[in-house]
């Protein structure tokens, strides 16, 4: 995820909070994979499937690793996605991951972890709102 400009990652973070305007911006500006990741993090199976079938299995695995699915976590490790492993750990409140992101001046990922946790901690599942 280091390949994305910080402004794009900030926009992605806002979509996790439900900003539909920035979600549409991601979709319309060649960041469909980030829009799909946002939707998948918010419960869209369609978006998860899109990630898997359009060359972004690492982002689908990130979503699953954030949800503490060991097979996804293992897949990320085995396929060399160490930053995504650390990010998933930070999303799951693991202090060593949070410290590593801080030490490596990757505060954007700390901000994203806070956004993801804020969403997850306040989530009331409503399948009517899932879209991609």
Total domains, the chain:
1
User: Using CA atoms, how far apart are residues 62 and 111, in angstroms rounded to an integer?
Assistant: 16
Residues of the chain with pLDDT > 70: what percent? 92
Q: How confident is the model at residue 129 (pLDDT cuts 50, 70, 90)?
A: very low
List for the chain the helix, strand, coil content (%; round to 5). 70, 0, 30
Q: Is residue 113 part of a domain?
A: yes
| 53 belongs to a structural domain | yes
Residue 1 lies in a domain: no
- C-alpha 97/C-alpha 34 separation (Å) is 22
pTM, full prediction: 0.89
Please report, for residues 28, 80, 111, the alpha-carbon distance to residue 116 in angstroms, rounded to integers and kept in the order given: 23, 23, 9
What is the tens place of the pLDDT at every residue in 84-95?
A: 999 999 999 999
Q: Is residue 130 part of a domain?
A: no
Within-domain flag for 129 = no
Residue range(s) defining the domain that contains residue 75: 6-124
């Amino acid at each position: 995820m280091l390949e994305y400009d910080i402004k794009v990652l900030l926009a992605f973070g806002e979509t996790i909070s439900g900003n539909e305007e920035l979600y549409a911006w991601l979709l319309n500006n060649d960041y469909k994979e980030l829009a799909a990741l946002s939707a998948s993090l918010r419960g869209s199976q369609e978006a998860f499937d899109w990630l898997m079938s359009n060359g972004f299995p690492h982002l689908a695995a990130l979503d699953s690793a954030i949800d503490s699915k060991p097979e996804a976590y293992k897949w990320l490790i085995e396929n060399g996605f160490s930053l995504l492993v650390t990010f998933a750990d930070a999303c799951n409140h693991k202090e060593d991951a949070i410290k590593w992101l801080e030490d490596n001046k990757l505060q954007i990922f700390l901000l994203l972890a806070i956004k993801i946790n804020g969403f997850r901690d306040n989530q009331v599942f409503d399948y009517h709102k899932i879209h991609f």
